[in-house]
Structures are given as structure tokens and as C-alpha cells.
Amino acid sequence: MRIPYFAAWLIAFITCGSLTIAFETEQQKFYNSSAGTSVLRIISTADISSFEPILLAFQADNPTIDIDYVVASSAQTMQAIYDEQAPFDLVISSAMDLQTKLANDGFAQTYVSSTTDSLPTWAKWRNQVFAFTQEPAVLVVSEKAFRDLPIPNTREELIELLRDNPQKFWGRVGTYDVRTSGFGYMLATQNSRNTDSFWRLTEVMGRLNTRLYCCSGEMIDDVAAGRLAMAYNVLGSYAENRLKTLDGVKIVPMQDFVSLMLRTSIITTNAQNASGAKRMVDFLSMMETRPELSAASGLPAVQRQETTAAKGLRPIRLGPGLLVFLDRLKRETFIRNWQNSIVQNNPL
């Protein structure tokens, strides 16, 4: 359930006598420290259930910092910072392209420390965008739905399976709605650059009344509940974390290639607690040294020794290349083509 984040705008409402519709949030939690003297305000796309172990560990090392943690979709996070200049100190997001745009357009502070210097060059951009996790996009399937069918291991096998079994999968395939999910849009555009099968797969899904989602968690829950037979391009980190409490769900990394997303943080230019935000960036940048946090959160840390090629992983690179599909005309064209493919038989 999304809740309008009005608190920051209350003064403006009273002053102006009118209410501007603010961005929408999904969750919010305040973490009191043992001796709080400052508040670190974070807006993030990471669920509280996943990120809380990291927040608590940070607070244990920084007992004077209270944390106001707000969860929003990647698109709403972008609106909060880019359009509304909401008073957050740190932005944490899985949408690498939107984070890059925030930095490129002057919404991120430059920060350099011995910790950020130790990050691989591919895990940061302009000393403004800092990666701290590397997370695969995977296929998640219901084992019950595949009792009599082979589980596909490549996109070509997935296309063939869906084409040959339309009645089995009608209304039981899920993926991101790229019109509303910034992260889903980024994954889709990157997939379209990496493989010719992207549009064929999208068209096949469109013939099966594919269900469209904002978030990985909702897709995984629907697979576990039997409402979906599979969910495509789900964040593997969320799936791994939820498998601790869900039965009958299987994670399938595609063998042709696996897109690897980098979750990143930026310090906003209007940060009121920049020092606290810098401490958090350093803390996140060293997650590789805290394997217990990756285990508790389900968020795999950036590995300083890059071994992704041998595992068939294809990292999405930080940098200006991510801005290509954020061009207004390119975005409109991509979404129009996507709608023509995947919404053929879907109710709008």
C-alpha cells in the first residue's frame, strides 16, 4: 500500500494554502539510535525487510545517527529528487540509469574517500554514483506449475515453451510494467541491446495475457501463491531472500546470459546531513568485508575481483551509456513498441 509522503511538505502547504501532490511511498520506518544527535534521511527502492540488517549494523557503528528510511519505487524516487527536491540526504536505487541521470543533471554531490577509492572503476561513476551490490535478474518459477514441463534455461527455450503451451501459461506469466517501473524499464532496454530474442519474447508474452507488476516482491509472492507459473527478470537477491520463507519456488539464471544490476547510492546536493550520508556511502562500499550483512539482507556485495565473465554474467555498466534510453523520444518509441508487443491481449 502506497502512502503519500506529506510530512516534508506540511510547512509549504500551510504557507501556500494549497497542496501539491507529492511523490508516493511504499514504506517508512524511523530508527532511533542509542544517542542520536542527527538524522540521516534515506529514500530507497530496497524493501525494509531486506535493508534493515544493513541499517541496524550501520547504526551500531554510528550510534549518534538516527535514520529515517523511506521506500519508494524507482520512478517515484526519481520524482522525489528530480522534480520535487525532497529533503533526503541519500538516494539508494536499483535503477542505475536514473541514478546516473541524477548525477549527470547536478543532483549528486562529489565524494572521495579511501573507501570509495578502493571500489573498482566499474562500480562508481564520477565519484558521485557508488555501487555496493551486484544482483542478477533471473527467472522465478513455480515448481508445481512445471511438474510435467521442462524448466527453460535460455531465452530461446523460454520462447519455445510459451509458444507450445499457451493454455498452460495464459495469465500466469509476470514481468515488470516498464511504463511505471524505472528498474523494469532499465532491464528491458538493456535486454533489447543484448539479445535479438528480447522482442520475440515480449511478443510471445503479449499473446498470453502477461500480468504486469511494479516490483519483484509482488511477482515472487504471486509465484509462491500459485497465481503465476513464472516471473521474468526478477531480482535474484529478492528471490533468494524470500526463499527463506517460501516453498515451491525455484530460481533459474538464464544460461545464455544473466543481466547483473548494480545497486547504487548518491549523496544529494541538498543533503542536510551530508556527513552522515558520507558515512553510509563508506559503510555500504565495504559490504564485501561484512558477509554476514549480505547473508542477512540477501543483497550480494560488490566483489572487488571481477569474475562475472566466467559465470555468464553480463554487468550493466555505470556511465553515460545508460542515459541513451532516457532521451524522451527514445523512451516514447521504446514504450510504444513494448506496448504494441506485450499489451496485445492484456486489459489496459
Q: What letter would DSSP give residue 108? A: B
Report which of 314, 187, 299, 157 is spatially closest to residue 239, judged by C-alpha positions: 299
**Count of CB atoms within 10 A of residue 138's CB?**
24
Q: Quick one: pLDDT at residue 16?
A: 35
Same-domain status, 144 and 117: no
Helices (H) and strands (E) in the chain, counts: 14, 14
Query: In the chain, how many domains are there?
Result: 2
- DSSP alpha helix (H) spans, the chain: 10-16, 48-61, 74-78, 96-104, 114-117, 155-164, 166-169, 182-194, 197-206, 216-224, 236-242, 274-285, 291-297, 328-342
Same-domain status, 14 and 31: yes
Q: Quick one: pLDDT at residue 5?
A: 43
- pLDDT tens-digit series, residues 25-48: 888 999 998 887 899 999 999 989
- This prediction's pTM: 0.82
Q: Quick one: pLDDT at residue 306?
A: 58
Q: Quick one: pLDDT at residue 195?
A: 86
What angle is formed at CA 175 by the lines to CA 170 and CA 177, rounded to 5 degrees?
115
Same-domain status, 96 and 207: no
Q: Is residue 322 part of a domain?
A: no
Q: Is residue 319 part of a domain?
A: no
By CB neighbour count within 10 A (0-12 exposed, 13-18 middle, 19+ buried), where does 134 fall?
Answer: buried
Query: What is the residue whose three cell numbers read 542520536?
Result: 36
Q: Is residue 83 part of a domain?
A: yes
- pLDDT tens-digit series, residues 222-259: 999 999 999 999 988 877 777 777 778 899 999 988 88
Same-domain status, 58 and 169: no
Same-domain status, 90 and 166: no
| Residues 139-156: b if buried by 16+ CB within 10 A, e if exposed | bbbbeebbeeeeebeebe
Q: Is residue 320 part of a domain?
A: no
Query: What is the residue whose three cell numbers read 562500499?
Result: 285
The answer to whether residues 108 and 264 touch, using CB atoms and an 8 Å cutoff, is no
pLDDT in single tens digits along all 348 residues of the chain:
444 443 443 333 333 333 344 878 888 999 998 887 899 999 999 989 889 999 999 999 999 999 999 999 888 999 999 999 999 999 999 889 999 999 999 999 999 999 999 998 889 999 999 999 998 899 999 999 999 999 999 999 999 999 999 999 999 999 999 998 888 999 999 999 888 899 999 999 999 999 999 888 899 999 999 999 999 999 888 777 777 777 788 999 999 888 889 999 999 999 999 999 999 999 999 999 999 999 999 899 988 765 555 456 778 889 999 999 999 999 999 999 999 999 765 544
Same-domain status, 165 and 281: no
319 φψ region: left (φ > 0), alpha (ψ -120 to 50), beta (else): left
Side chain identity at residue 118, one-letter code: S
Q: Is residue 290 part of a domain?
A: yes
Same-domain status, 165 and 187: yes
In angstroms, the CA 59 to CA 65 distance is 7
Q: Is residue 348 part of a domain?
A: no
Q: Quick one: pLDDT at residue 344?
A: 61
Q: What's 208's domain CATH number?
A: 3.40.190.10
In angstroms, the CA 230 to CA 213 distance is 13
Same-domain status, 108 and 210: no
Q: Is residue 347 part of a domain?
A: no
Q: Quick one: pLDDT at residue 11?
A: 35
Same-domain status, 70 and 181: no
Q: Quick one: pLDDT at residue 247?
A: 77
The answer to whether residues 140 and 252 touch, using CB atoms and an 8 Å cutoff, is yes
Same-domain status, 270 and 195: no
Q: Is residue 54 part of a domain?
A: yes
Q: Quick one: pLDDT at residue 144?
A: 93
Same-domain status, 109 and 153: no
Q: Quick one: pLDDT at residue 241?
A: 73
Report which of 258, 281, 278 is spatially closest to residue 124, judged by C-alpha positions: 281
Range of the domain at 201: 135-259+327-342
Same-domain status, 149 and 105: no
